[in-house]
Amino acid sequence: MDALIGETTREHSDLDLVVLLDQVNVVRTTLKQAGFVHVLRDWLPTALAVADATGREIDLHPITATAGGGGDQLLPDGDRFHYPAPVAGSIGGHEVRCVDAVTQVQCHGGYDLTEKDRLDMARLRARTGVALPDDYLGTSSGL
């Protein structure tokens, strides 16, 4: 989200990473070496969440590559969620590859929205012009 906006907008409780399913073990080993040894959720092949001793969390979203540079994530019910090819964003002046704005909106649905969610979506809309569902507008829509 912040990479699309181009700046860190708030403190986040976790970092979501989309990774290739066949590289999850390599990513997991690398994260362990960096201190992310506490497994919070192991829902593989759907998701894996890990934390380090300071409470930093990383959520992995494994995908199987598809044509065009995107990929499909297997969901618990057997359906698949499609991530299109990543787009360019930036954090702290560094270019990063990230999920596009439309997909960010899709990923932030299907649950009761908090004020934080509404504010994030309003910031995303203000920066990118992405359309938001009516239930996202709430009290933070004035950004």
- Residues 99, 4, 135: CA angle, nearest 5 degrees: 80
2-135 folds as Beta Polymerase; domain 2 (3.30.460)
- State the pairing for strand pair 80-83/87-91: unpaired
Element (H, E) at 125: helix 115-128
Q: What contacts 107, CB < 8 A, 6 or more positions away?
A: 99
What is the tens place of the pLDDT at every residue in 98-136?
Answer: 999 999 999 887 788 888 888 999 999 999 999 998 877
| Domains in the chain: boundaries | 2-135
Q: Which residue has the higher pLDDT, 30 or 11?
A: 30
CA distance linking residue 50 with residue 61, whole number of Å: 12
The pTM score is 0.87
CA distance linking residue 82 with residue 70, whole number of Å: 7
Question: With bands split at pLDDT 50, 70 and 90, how would you rate the model's confidence at 141?
Answer: very low
Share of the chain above pLDDT 90, in %: 80
Share of the chain above pLDDT 70, in %: 95
